[in-house]
Amino acid sequence: AIIVVENLEQACAISNTLAPEHLELAVETPESLLPLIAHAGAIFLGRYTPEAIGDYVAGPSHVLPTFGTARYGSALTVDDFTKQVHVVELTREGFDRAAPVVAELADTEGFAAHAESVRLRQRALEGGAAS
C-alpha cells in the first residue's frame, strides 16, 4: 500500500499506529525522526541501511514483533531468557495507607479473599498481635 502524507510528522504518527515489524527511515536526517517513533520492531536509518542489512549482518535480533505487535512487544533479546523476581516491602505506615485502597480494589474486582486478607491483617495490627 502507498500512504500519501502531508509531512514526516504525520508519517511517523501513521507508522506508530501500524507498529511495523521493520521501519526504514530513508530520509535526509533520519535521526531527527527517532523521538517521534514509539512503535516499531526495528528501525533502519538512512538510505544505506536497508532492512536486509539488519536481517543478515548488522547484528540486531531478527526475531521481531509482527502484525502490529510492536505496539506492546519488542525484538527477542537475552532478557527473554532470564528470570526476574519482584521484591515488595512496605512500612507499617505504608501498609496502613494502602490497605483500605487494596481492600476496595480487591472487592471491586471480585477477589474477596484478597480483600479479607488485608482486613484481617489490619485488625491484627490494630490489636497489637503483629508487628
Catalytic residue selected from 22, 39, 62, 126: 22
Q: H or E stretch including 22? A: strand 22-25
Catalytic residue selected from 21, 62, 86, 109: 21
Any catalytic annotation for residue 21?
A: yes
- Report the C-alpha gap between 86 and 36 in whole angstroms: 32
Any catalytic annotation for residue 62?
A: no
Cross-strand bridge partners of residue 42: 22
- Report the C-alpha gap between 46 and 14 in whole angstroms: 19
Q: Which residues are catalytic?
A: 21-22
